Amino acid sequence: ITRNVFKNFKMKTLIFIMLVACVASAAYGALVCGTDYCEKNPCIQPPLVCPKNTEHRARHAGKCACCPACVTLLGEGATCKIYSKELGETPSAVCKEPLKCIKRVCTKLV
């Protein structure tokens, strides 16, 4: 019986720690970027001319994704990455709409 109690305690503790980490991550992103960060800190960058097979995104690069970027669009089955602009992650390639990055693969939702 004590073994099961210990396992349950460990699982509940792990879930609690993961929940706290998620909340802290979201709060950190909101504290760092906020809702008006880009308006208060405009990107100073020359206009971009994007190469073929890429898409211009006005807010995709730089701190809090305030700067423009050329982004490669990935097709179905391509390897992808889920990212968080609040944490400063801005990939150079994303899944084409309506595809979604699921388990690191661009996947069509049915």
Tell me which of 11-15, 20-24, 32-36, 88-92 is least confident: 20-24
What is the structure's pLDDT at 29? Answer: 45
Closest CA to 80 of 98, 97, 101, 96: 101
Cα 31 to the chain's mean position, in Å? Answer: 16
Q: In which residue are the tokens 């305030």 written?
A: 66
Overall average pLDDT of the 9-14 stretch: 74
pLDDT tens digit sequence for 49-68: 999 889 998 888 887 888 89
pTM exceeds 0.75: no
Q: How confident is the model at residue 25 (pLDDT cuts 50, 70, 90)?
A: low
> Looking at per-residue confidence, does 109 or 22 come out higher?
109
Residues 6+ apart with CB under 8 A from 38: 59, 64, 65, 66
Domain locations in the chain?
Answer: 1-33, 43-109
Backbone angles phi, psi at 19, to 5 degrees: -65, -45
Calculate what percentage of the chain has a pLDDT beyond 70: 77
The CATH fold of domain 43-109:
Lipase, subunit A (2.10.80)
Edge-to-edge strand list for the sheet holding 93-95: 54-61, 67-74, 93-95
What is the structure's pLDDT at 79? Answer: 95
